[in-house]
Structure 1
Amino acid sequence: MPTNIEVESLKAKYAAAGQGHLFTFYDELDPEEQNSLFDQLSKLDVERVNRIFRKAVSGTETVSSSQQASLEPLPEEVFDSVLSADEVKIKDWESLGLQLIAENKVAVILMAGGQGTRLGSSAPKGCYDIRLPSAKSLFQLQAERILRLQKYAQEITKTTSKVVIPWYVMTSGPTRSATESFFKEHNFFGLQEENVIFFEQGTLPALTNDGKIFLENKSKLAIAPDGNGGIYAALRYEGILNSLKTRNISYVHAYCVDNCLVRVADPIFIGHCVSKNADCGAKVVGKSSPDEPVGVIAIRNGKFNVVEYSEIDLTIASTTTANGQLAYRAANIANHFYTVDFLNRVESFENELEYHIAKKKIKHIDVTTGELVSPSKPNGMKLELFVFDVFPFTENMAVFEVDRKEEFSPLKNAPGTGVDDPETSRRDIISQHIRFVERAGGKVIAGDGESSTDLMNFEISPLVSYAGEGLDGLKGKTFRTPAVIETVADIGKLIH
């Protein structure tokens, strides 16, 4: 238990910060509750919270016409597209990426703090079964891509050393325990336990519209995750930067858990960014139309930024280049490359990062009445940092466009929604696997000979092929659904 002097000192600190109301009920709490509240308030940097609030509020003005005029498309020298690059260049990028992976210079960071609430699930989103024929979760698909890529890099580079791609999994408070349990229950999907490292993103208190911290109950602060941009501080506070240094990692690929088509530690992307000497890179897909509601990477006020669709006038968004493509087409998909040096440098400009205000309905204890309030409309805010908020501070940026149908299919909505839901995720994975076979010269036919929906009962494990490689023997061969290829040996058994 804290001493009276310690309590009074902390009270004075919070009173000076304008947050003294958090002690309103302290004297009526039992000793255990007092200890809990004191512990929370001792660990919280209340001056930092106030500073973030002031900066967030000052930055909420709508983009003005003068700011709009400052928008510029990406310079040609920072933008490349796998859709237009020649095969030799793509192969060179891949070879460089595979070499770096084989040298154990590459790690991946998975942003997996989200719960599957919108999917109708209480489990972390990565545990979700999109009802593939194999019933694999998103976590398992991604783990198997890592396993395959480790083996592939070893084969291609002919290295005799063990190839390891460490997997750092960022959870949130509500998802950490369930995520760790899921991995343990599934024996880490074949990965070595010591190479799967869990850590937790940070939190910030929920605030009233004038910056006062809410109490969830009389002995607990109302807190919320600080957004996926909290990854940078979490890497430092949770010891991940030290872990990367100990493992002698130079490059990191970071991505969000809900993209079922993500190419984890993509050697082409990594090789491209390294060849560009980039400290930060972003993988993007082409914007489908000027009014598609996605943020795009562009130059604003002379710096790289993700510009939200609501911030770009439709006339500007419709601007095209000489070859007829949208000038502002680099749609952000939260899929990034970093040098470890850059991740270490974030601390030096962290105070300059802009937090974003999310208006929310926040349950809380009224400090004047002591009653629980469950508002029917937004009554306060949660402050979030976005993972792309570091872009303006990059010294050398690389933006890499990929084929949407091959690399981006997010899982966000409940079954039956028709957009970014389990059905579209399943369709996009299976359609890709069928394309793998067709590109190798084979074909997949419906088991009943006529039903196109029966084609959706086909799957190739990432353990067999990461991105379509290793299937050369399928030329002239036919698979009849249902067919699930889990091992190379299954290929011979399932060919008709």
Structure 2
Amino acid sequence: MASEQDVRAQLQRAGQEHLLRFWADLAPEPLAALLAELATLEPDALREHCQRAAAACALTPGPLADLAARLQPLPPECVGSAIRCDQETRLRWEEEGFRQIALNKVAVLLLAGGQGTRLGVTYPKGMYQVGLPSQKTLYQLQAERIRRVQQLAGQRLGTHCTVPWYIMTSEFTLGPTIKFFKEHDFFHLDPANVVLFEQRMLPAVTFEGKAILERKDKVAMAPDGNGGLYCALADHQILEDMKRRGVEFVHVYCVDNILVRLADPVFIGFCVLRGADCGAKVVEKAYPEEPVGVVCQVDGVPQVVEYSEISPETAGLRGPDGGLLYNTGNICNHFFTRDFLDKVTREFEPLLKLHVAVKKVPYVDEEGNLVKPLKPNGIKMEKFVFDVFQFAKNFVAFEVSREEEFSPLKNADTASRDNPSTSRRALLAQHYRWALQAGAHFLDVHGVQLPQQSGLLPNGDPPAICEISPLVSYSGEGLEMYLQGRKLQSPFILDEDQARLLQPQEC
């Protein structure tokens, strides 16, 4: 164990000796824990981190002055679309994606290290239930989509295949996530194919450049952002594990999108056939000021520019077709080749810039009392997963339908958007559309057939409640055999048991 004297010398070198100001108050066990934590903080790196955080925070926020002249939309040849392509092209992409999945060359990687602070929960966001009739969590929905896409790929090519699930957690989410998966028998996935690993943590810093104590015996630490992925891949030899399994293509996504299509064969196939080493799913921006990053080019290289960095004038520019010039909204849904990730971890990771997040960070005051601030008082430094786009040799973007593929869960229901209600409605509205397309009819509580309308009610709900298990349909496929001509009472859940009952019996 590191001695108090050694740790104090390290902290003095870093200009952070205040972190030991309560050492005399601590019992042996908490003191040992604090010394062990502080001993892991390399002095020069700690000093640089704190100085950089304070300096970055002091910069004036807002649109970058010279950005407009450096900004360009992505070239058309770099962009594909699941919406605007013809059916034959889409089927070709899908077939290639299923082929790669069947060859065991595709993995999915979940970014799940963040805390659900805005959502108002103390547990990992993947464990959240948005109020579906089935009461499924985000983790369960995602696990079942993996099982279904494996099944579909295997059926097409007459083989058994595996899509490994890599889950990047943090100090806050690793333990609860492991416990949750074990309690739910890994949602019937093989535990050997579910690989959890932990990203690094960085100290939270005051505006004056001092690391924050959240308790007398604990430094306030925060995950290093979803761009911490690249260090974590190296720390835990994840790419070596992928190589042993034969994985060549990796689909990376965020935990909070209830509509995410894991290992989406259309997206995978598009990227593979284009020879891309890096790709991003995008949705068309709903309006110029929508708070999403824009996938575009800066100085001729692909990049995501945050909405706060673009002036209102630039955000509102229109193209020849009347649509927004910068309309490719980033949804944190990416394709990487394993070779590209390997190159990033070995060469490019140190070049990634740190971004400032100003947060409310609980701390102990000079008397040792816990304070929960009412306004932001600290800085958390983060790296972003998409900041590697600039290093790609062949970057592509792939446009998808927002209503089919993007509804993030960010906030509690007290917020007006991106909350549990909007997520739940997005999924149920999708499943209602799928059921109508498959030929189903819905009845009201009195048994009267409802009009065949695909629009939502004034409160945002679909006209009938219908939930379809991912184990029955991944993206709306194959539902006709169960639903064609059926009259269904709302609420209706089509799970595997119900599907067996509805399946036509062979004579």
* TM-score, L = length of structure 1: 0.91
Distance, in Å, in 2 between the alignment partners of 1:121 and 1:377 is 19
Contact residue 283 and residue 336 of structure 1 kept, 8 A: yes
Which amino acid in structure 1 is aligned with residue 141 of structure 2? Answer: L
Distance, in Å, in 2 between the alignment partners of 1:487 and 1:143 is 15
Distance, in Å, in 1 between the alignment partners of 2:287 and 2:492 is 37
Contact residue 67 and residue 301 of structure 1 kept, 8 A: no
Distance, in Å, in 2 between the alignment partners of 1:94 and 1:454 is 29
Residue 68 of structure 1, CA deviation: 2.4
Which amino acid in structure 2 is aligned with residue 351 of structure 1? Answer: P
Alpha-carbon spacing, 1:29–1:441, altered in 2? closer, same or farther (3 Å): closer
Q: After TM superposition, list the pairs within 5 Å mapping 1:133-172 onto structure 2.
A: 133-159=133-159, 162-172=160-170
Among 36, 47, 50, the residue aligned to 1:50? 47
Contact residue 52 and residue 355 of structure 1 kept, 8 A: no
Q: Which residue number corresponds to residue 495 of structure 2? A: 486
Q: Which residue number corresponds to residue 14 of structure 1? A: 11
Among 286, 297, 301, the residue aligned to 1:288? 286
Residue 285 of structure 1, CA deviation: 0.5
Which amino acid in structure 1 is aligned with residue 363 of structure 2? Answer: H
Which amino acid in structure 2 is aligned with residue 464 of structure 1? Answer: V
Q: Which residue number corresponds to residue 403 of structure 2? A: 405
Q: Which residue number corresponds to residue 330 of structure 1? A: 328
Among 422, 425, 428, the residue aligned to 1:424? 422
Q: 1:401-443 deviations in whole A, cap 9, x for unaligned?
A: 1000000111222236442222222222122112223333444
Tell me, what secondary structure is at the counterpart of 1:346? helix
Among 384, 389, 393, the residue aligned to 1:395? 393
The count of residues paired between Structure 1 and Structure 2 equals 489
Contact residue 116 and residue 128 of structure 1 kept, 8 A: no
Structure 2 unpaired stretches of 5+: 451-456
Q: Which residue number corresponds to residue 356 of structure 1? A: 355
Alpha-carbon spacing, 1:450–1:471, altered in 2? closer, same or farther (3 Å): closer
Distance, in Å, in 2 between the alignment partners of 1:402 and 1:306 is 17
Q: After TM superposition, list the pairs within 5 Å mapping 1:39-118 onto structure 2.
A: 39-55=36-52, 60-62=59-61, 63-118=63-118
Alpha-carbon spacing, 1:279–1:455, altered in 2? closer, same or farther (3 Å): same
Among 156, 169, 177, the residue aligned to 2:175? 177
Q: Which residue number corresponds to residue 202 of structure 1? A: 200
Tell me, what secondary structure is at the counterpart of 1:91? helix
Residue 78 of structure 1, CA deviation: 1.2
Contact residue 259 and residue 410 of structure 1 kept, 8 A: yes
Contact residue 360 and residue 379 of structure 1 kept, 8 A: yes
Distance, in Å, in 2 between the alignment partners of 1:370 and 1:458 is 53
Residue 273 of structure 1, CA deviation: 1.2
Q: 1:77-121 deviations in whole A, cap 9, x for unaligned?
A: 211111111111111111111111111111111122344444443
Q: Which residue number corresponds to residue 475 of structure 2? A: 467
Alpha-carbon spacing, 1:115–1:54, altered in 2? closer, same or farther (3 Å): closer
Residue 253 of structure 1, CA deviation: 0.7
Q: Which residue number corresponds to residue 131 of structure 2? A: 131
Q: After TM superposition, list the pairs within 5 Å mapping 1:252-267 onto structure 2.
A: 252-267=250-265
Q: Which residue number corresponds to residue 457 of structure 1? A: 465
Tell me, what secondary structure is at the counterpart of 1:65? coil
Q: 1:108-142 deviations in whole A, cap 9, x for unaligned?
A: 11122344444443332212222212111111111
Q: 1:235-283 deviations in whole A, cap 9, x for unaligned?
A: 2213322221221211111111111111011011111111222221111
Distance, in Å, in 2 between the alignment partners of 1:430 and 1:445 is 16
Q: 1:157-214 deviations in whole A, cap 9, x for unaligned?
A: 223xx21111112222222222222211211111111111112222100112232222
Distance, in Å, in 1 between the alignment partners of 2:352 and 2:462 is 50
Taking only aligned residues, the RMSD between alpha carbons, in angstroms, comes to 2.5
Distance, in Å, in 2 between the alignment partners of 1:488 and 1:365 is 54
Contact residue 64 and residue 310 of structure 2 kept, 8 A: no
Alpha-carbon spacing, 1:456–1:257, altered in 2? closer, same or farther (3 Å): farther
Distance, in Å, in 2 between the alignment partners of 1:338 and 1:168 is 14
* TM-score, L = length of structure 2: 0.89
Distance, in Å, in 1 between the alignment partners of 2:314 and 2:42 is 42
Which amino acid in structure 2 is aligned with residue 244 of structure 1? Answer: M
Structure 1 unpaired stretches of 5+: none
Distance, in Å, in 2 between the alignment partners of 1:248 and 1:80 is 27
Tell which deviates more after alignment, 464-473 or 142-151.
Answer: 464-473
Q: Which residue number corresponds to residue 121 of structure 2? A: 121
Alpha-carbon spacing, 1:27–1:414, altered in 2? closer, same or farther (3 Å): closer
Alpha-carbon spacing, 1:435–1:313, altered in 2? closer, same or farther (3 Å): same
Distance, in Å, in 1 between the alignment partners of 2:131 and 2:407 is 15
Distance, in Å, in 2 between the alignment partners of 1:116 and 1:364 is 19
Distance, in Å, in 2 between the alignment partners of 1:421 and 1:360 is 20
Which amino acid in structure 1 is aligned with residue 468 of structure 2? Answer: I
> In percent, how many aligned pairs have the same letter?
47
Residue 377 of structure 1, CA deviation: 3.6
